[in-house]
Amino acid sequence: MAYQRSLGWLKELRSAMVFSLYVLMILVWAFPVIWVILTSLKSRTEIFTLPPTIFFKPTLEHYIEALLAHDILQGIINSLLMACGTTLFTLIIAIPAGYAFSRVRFPFRDRLSFFALLAQMAPPIGLIIPCFLLLSRLRMLDTYGGLIAVHMTLTVPFSIWLMITYFQDLPPSLEEAATVDGVSPFNTFLKVVLPNVWGGVGVTAIFAFIESWNEFLYAVVLTGSKTKTAPVAIFGFLAAEESRWGPFTATGVMIMAPVIIVALVAQRHIVKGMTLGATKG
Amino acid sequence: MRPAYIRQQERFGFVMITPSMLFLFIMAAFPLVMLVVMSAFRIDLTYPAGNRWLGSGNYLQMVHDSRFWHAIKVTAIYTVSTVFLQVVIGLALAMAFFRSFQGQEILRVSVLLPMILAPVVVGLAFRTMIMTPQYGILDYISMVLGFGSKPWLVDPNWALLSVIIIHTWQWTPFAFLVFLASLHALPSDPLEAALMDARNAWQRFWHVLLPMIRPAVVIVVIFRTMIALRAFAAIFSATGGGPGTATEILNLYTYRESFNSLNLGYGAALGTALLVITVVISMIFFRLRQSKM
């Protein structure tokens, strides 16, 4: 009896500890993000009030200032164009490759897919030096095409690999009926197989978009006044005026917003896609 | 003669992969070859007239460059400590949660956030609102708890610790989620039986759980090491490699040499060194995975 009771007591202690750990984890990981959002809504004096306030009268002044006075609007438009372009062109070339690598037999298949994996390991700083020289020779510095092409070196390899895993999950018999009916392989891919993996295409698109939207190193080297992306703009802005936390956080929220919305809507798929390589490998 | 449909399949396969393979050859393989070639030249954009073939000149300079060796040291400390912390903390949290895990949704979104936010925003937020003396929230909490204000990003030793904290904060969720998924994927009956047999918590962990999820640990170590070797934006925006060169990992040194000093030849040599390090480490990992799994 006593033993049973003490076990129950231990169990309760254990669940209480797990619960406090749970709260602590949420605080540690979500709080900095929430803090950025709160700061962006505080007035200039409120930001530097000690102790920090949690309840205050929100204001949008920093958002207006960031958008109007600091070129941030242009940066966000540029980022949007770059990220959409990168996503679109990545999908166009990565989906067919993922399909061929997973469901079509041809010579050197494994070696070529391994090459796609290797391309993912190339250190970005090692790629950017020759790419900078190449693009400057081609007069493509500070162009949309230049940065999109370089961003695609990040997105194409992992998109191929994500798509391979989605195509592999389909039943092997999927193409058989169409092949017997004499439909061409490409039409089979387009009309029979592709409609079954739209979910996977969506997840791949999300990853490609986020990668390009957040990317900093390539953007800071390859863009100039015309095509500067939002991450570059926010960096330049804060480097100039260290203490302007208001407009900085407002810009930060605008950069984080699309990603946070995607995270809320598609969190299950993102977690799955992220841990896919690790849990399946 | 192979049947016509097999030849058609092969042709179709090649057509489907050609665009992406061509792209990766032009934009990834070719630039890497060019990087190695560039490292044999003097390419100084501030004085183009002096550009010439150097052979191994840049590498001789590198061997005697104390800043290069310092960058290697900082890279090693940064990579080993962030990967170690991520694995230990991630594993501990996954262990704590894997059986009684309620309110998954909120926690999953919370831990997902740091990983998908722009590293430059993360770095800048830590530099300003979180680690600024007195007004930064972390420094404020430290003062309230009685630890006093700390020179988070100002003192060289603290700065290295701070960028390690930032990276660990941003990426421990990855290890946590992978470990959680692999713990859930374990067959429950043998697991329960083995857990019953174990005498205490330490045995349960060391002799039952750890061997079962060792593949996941190996994979997390591989993934996170490769990513840590690519780290750039968060450190660049939090400290810029400073104070001085206290947080200057090899990536940052290469960047500063190439795009601040515009010394692309020597930068390319540093980039080649990084490429070699990456290749060697991934080959070691490749062997490790093949032998242990």
B21-53 pLDDT per residue, tens: 999 999 999 999 999 999 999 998 888 888 889
What value does the mean pLDDT of chain A take? 88
Is A185 within 8 Å of B12 when comparing Cβ atoms?
A: yes
Give the pLDDT band (50/70/90) at residue A7: low
From the list B9, B120, B229, which residue is nearest A231 (CB)? B120
**Neighbouring C-beta atoms of residue B18, cutoff 10 Å:** 14
Amino acid identity of residue A106, one-letter, is F
For residues B176-203, give the mean pLDDT: 78
Q: Where are the domains of chain B?
A: 65-292
Intra-chain end-to-end CA distance of chain A, in Å: 48
Give the pLDDT band (50/70/90) at residue B101: low
CB pairs under 8 A between A and B: 267
What does DSSP assign to residue B52?
E
Residues of A in contact with B35 (CB under 8 A): 126-127, 129-130
Least Cα separation, residue A250 to chain B (angstroms): 11
For residues A163-190, give the mean pLDDT: 86
Tens of pLDDT along B239-260?
988 898 999 999 999 999 999 9
What residue of B is the nearest CA neighbor of A133?
Answer: B264
Is residue A253 scored above 70 in pLDDT? yes
Is residue A115 scored above 70 in pLDDT? yes
From the list B12, B174, B254, which residue is nearest A125 (CB)? B254
Is B216 within 8 Å of A278 when comparing Cβ atoms?
A: yes
Phi/psi at A122 (nearest 5 deg)?
A: -55, 130
Helix (H, G, I), strand (E, B) or coil at B190: helix
The pLDDT assigned to B202 comes to 77
What is d(CA B232, CA B253) in angstroms, rounded to the nearest whole number? 10
Strand B41-42 and strand B52-53: the pairing is: antiparallel
Is A29 within 8 Å of B119 when comparing Cβ atoms?
A: no
Q: pTM (2 decimals)?
A: 0.92
> To the nearest whole percent, how much of chain B has pLDDT over 70?
96
Is residue B237 scored above 70 in pLDDT? yes
Among A195, A227, A225, CA closest to A83: A227
From the list A36, A121, A259, which residue is nearest B282 (CB)? A121
Bridge partners, residue B44, by sequence: B263
Is residue A141 scored above 90 in pLDDT? yes
Give the pLDDT band (50/70/90) at residue A6: low
Is A274 within 8 Å of B29 when comparing Cβ atoms?
A: no
- Exposed/middle/buried for A60, CB within 10 Å: 0-12, 13-18, 19+? exposed
What is d(CA A206, CA A264) in angstroms, rounded to the nearest whole number? 13
Its CATH class, for the domain covering B65-292, is mainly alpha
> CA–CA distance from B238 to each of A36, A180, B130, B261 (Å)?
15, 60, 11, 21
Give the pLDDT band (50/70/90) at residue B75: very high
Residues of B in contact with A248 (CB under 8 A): 124, 128
> CA–CA distance from A183 to each of A173, A187, A190, B11 (Å)?
15, 6, 11, 16
Is residue B290 scored above 90 in pLDDT? no
Is A249 within 8 Å of B115 when comparing Cβ atoms?
A: no
Give the pLDDT band (50/70/90) at residue B103: low
The pLDDT assigned to A38 comes to 92
From the list A101, A149, A256, which residue is nearest B117 (CB)? A256
Start-end of H helices in chain A: 2-40, 44-47, 61-69, 72-103, 109-121, 124-137, 144-168, 176-180, 185-187, 198-214, 217-222, 230-240, 245-280
Residues of A in contact with B283 (CB under 8 A): none
Give the pLDDT band (50/70/90) at residue B11: very high
Helix (H, G, I), strand (E, B) or coil at B44: strand
Helix (H, G, I), strand (E, B) or coil at B53: strand
Is residue B163 scored above 90 in pLDDT? yes
Residues of A in contact with B110 (CB under 8 A): 25-26, 29-30
Higher-confidence residue: A281 or A181? A181
Least Cα separation, residue B24 to chain A (angstroms): 7
Asked if A21 contacts B96 with a C-beta cutoff of 8 angstroms, the reply is yes
Is residue A281 scored above 50 in pLDDT? no
Phi/psi at B41 (nearest 5 deg)?
A: -120, 160
Is residue B292 scored above 60 in pLDDT? no
Higher-confidence residue: A87 or B212? A87
Task: Output the CA torsion sign for A118, A119, A121, A125.
Answer: positive
Which residues make Cβ contacts (< 8 Å) with residue A111, sequence separation at least 6?
none
